Chains A and B, each alone.
Chain A
Amino acid sequence: MDLKEIHEYTVTGNASKVRELTEQALAEGVAPGEIISKYLIPAMGEVGDRFERNEFYVPELLIAARAMQGALQILKPLLADNDLKPVGRVVIGTVKGDLHDIGKNLVSMMLQGAGFEVTDLGVDVAPERFVDAIVQDSEQIVALSALLTTTMPAMKATIEALRAAGAREKVMVVIGGAPVTQRYADEIGADGYAPDANSAVRKVKQLLGITQ
């Protein structure tokens, strides 16, 4: 079989073909970690680049991410502990008072697609829940999303909660969402800001010093 088809069908968002080819590859003895790192992750990288070039839009991103997640559902249980280390660990959520999640879900999917382990806390996440989600001694990113000018202040409250818990120095905070700007990130002491899902992956990698 041509394993490159896994990449191609992921990019075009054909979830059933990706599942079928993934099963076929496993049956032919291809390692699960290899399918992820050589085909799924580069495929999502291409999807992200095409999104940034305005060749792909949100629908194309969504179906590609669903195709990838379908394959990951098959592959993840088969990975042994040291088969594929996560590139990094991210805790993500939409802040308190805000229930919007499509943008946050896209960032989450693109980060998974880039090999990150993502803990998604969902929506309307109080500052304390972000604090609780940080695992001791693991380098982590806390990614905050807000859609509204009226819920953005919860980002500042979350950073303050991290500081009050003595956890601020342990993590990097990245923020995003429609009304969010670099200026606002600077004002509240966030470590980074990204305007969309693809640049969010780049920013997170940059903050963690990951060059690939």
Chain B
Amino acid sequence: MLPPRERVLCALEHEEPDRVPIFFGTSGATTMLVPAYKRLKEHLRFESQDRSFSEILQYALIDEEILLRMGSDGRPLTPGPAPSSLRKEAQDGSLVDEWGIVWDKRPGSLYYEIVQAPLRRANDDDVASWPWPDLAHPSRFQGLADRARNIQERGYAVVAISGVNPWETYCTLRGMDQALVDLLLDEDFVHALFGKLTDLMLAGAVGLVQHAGEQIDVLVMSDDLGTESAPMMSPETYRKLLKPYHARIISAIRAHTEAKIFFHSDGNIYPLIGDLVEIGVDILNPIQVSASGMGDTARLKREFGDRLSFCGAVDTQWALPYGSPSDVRSEVRRRIRDLAPKGGYLLSAVHCLQPDVPPENVLAMCDEARRAGQYPLSL
């Protein structure tokens, strides 16, 4: 049996290790919502305090004992919070994050939702004068290299969460509908705000890799570009307005590390995969198989598998929440069969597991991944 880290690195070099690596709890999309993790812990009769990557997004930090049980081959590495004059908890229970976005959780709701997009009516001057958080502040990276080294010495792949997500942040600052309208009606503003977010996030990512770049195996960045049916904007618009900034960020990161670039985008981004490969993406996540254009995972492997690794693909819109454990096992086998030949596949659920996913299904996913993912594959 290979050590987990070597298993991951081997697969990412498009070679077949001993089995398909599993990424569970390594990033926001590969973990569980805190209430879902509570259900799993109860099922496993395991007690621990609830911890999360982010209080607002409620992405659970999974305990080491559970990561072992699930067979996860990576461990997350997160920098500290960015100093910001905007972050606060209001008296009514709403939260303001480092960007100044106001979030609230209504009684009975599972989720924090945006109450106020602070830059909805902003202009270029407002962008220039906004009290932006300091993503490159040294306090964020203290002790990071040691933590990364510790993960590697324990034999796991280091999955660093860069926090780079400029388009998502643009949408939350502006309001998603206004953001989409900006792309067509106000290119100057797009450059002002998207450019500013790129500068900030690039500086944060470079700070991260300057401190711990040698110890990072996978570097996670994120930007949702797809809806269930199609990219959120036309490929032409993406290439003209957003792609150059993504390219600049990846290029700056690569100057300081040999870590593989892991790019997360939900939805149907099939028309943009070639562009992402072109700008240096090594691993595509989450492969939302329920979205148009992404379900034929055999086709994705055929068309991109020589240049791109895939992480994700186990369906979270039907199989995991509504299927039986047998349906989940069948889904796992299908995605391994399609994506894992010649390596290049890290198995995980498409997205952060919600509380409607039965614990039996979560276990079925990881157990079947270990059973059916043994190389040479016999599916």
Residues of A within 8 A of B (CB): 13, 54, 56-60, 62-63, 66, 97, 99, 102, 105, 124, 148-150, 178-179, 181, 195-196
Contacts and interface: CB of A to CB of B under 8 A. Distances in A.
A133 B321 CA distance: 32
Nearest to B237: A59
Contacts of A150: 110, 354-356
Contact of B228 (A59, A62, A66, A195): A195
Nearest to B178: A62
A97 B108 contact: yes
A63 B354 contact: no
Contact of B180 (A54, A59, A178, A181): A59
A122 B257 CA distance: 47
A63 B185 contact: yes
B130 interface: no
B233 A59 contact: yes
Contacts of B227: 58, 178
Contacts of A178: 227-228, 317
A63 B110 contact: no
Contacts of B318: 179, 181
Contacts of B229: 195-196
Nearest to B183: A59
Interface in B204-236: 227-234
B290 interface: yes
Contacts of B233: 57-59
15 contacts: A54-B230, A57-B231, A58-B232, A58-B233, A59-B183, A59-B232, A59-B233, A62-B181, A63-B181, A97-B109, A97-B110, A102-B176, A102-B177, A149-B356, A196-B229
B353 to A, nearest CB: 10
Interface residues of B, number: 31
Given A56-B234, A66-B181, A195-B229, 9 more contacts: A13-B184, A57-B233, A58-B232, A99-B106, A102-B177, A150-B355, A150-B356, A178-B228, A195-B228
Contact of A60 (B234, B321, B355): B234
Q: Enumerate the 7 nearest inter-chain pairs by beta-carbon distance, A residue then B residue, closest first.
A: A178-B228, A59-B180, A99-B113, A179-B317, A57-B234, A59-B184, A149-B321
Contacts of B355: 150
Nearest to B180: A59
Contacts of A60: 184, 234
Contacts of B230: 54, 57
A9 B176 CA distance: 24
Nearest to B232: A58
Interface in B316-354: 316-318, 321-322, 354
Contacts of B111: 148
Nearest to A59: B180
A2 to B, nearest CB: 24
A62 B106 CA distance: 28
A17 to B, nearest CB: 13
A59 B354 contact: no
Contacts of A181: 318
A57 B234 CA distance: 6
Contacts of A99: 106, 109, 113
Interface in B99-129: 106, 108-111, 113
Nearest to B316: A149
B206 to A, nearest CB: 31
A124 B106 contact: yes
Contacts of A66: 181
A55 to B, nearest CB: 8
B184 A63 contact: yes
Contacts of B237: 57, 59
B111 to A, nearest CB: 8
Interface in B166-194: 176-177, 180-181, 183-185
A105 B322 CA distance: 28
A66 B180 CA distance: 13
Nearest to A147: B228
**Most chain B CB inside 10 Å of its own CB: which residue of A56, A58, A97, A102:** A58
Contacts of B177: 62, 102, 105
A179 B321 CA distance: 11
Contacts of A56: 234
Nearest to A55: B234
Contacts of A148: 111, 354
A63 B318 CA distance: 33
Nearest to B321: A149
B289 to A, nearest CB: 12
A99 B232 CA distance: 19
A179 B356 CA distance: 13
A47 B293 CA distance: 22
A193 to B, nearest CB: 13
- Residue among A56, A102, A150, A179 with the highest chain B CB neighbour number at 10 A: A150
A148 B321 CA distance: 11
Contacts of A149: 316-317, 321-322, 354, 356
Contacts of A179: 290, 317-318
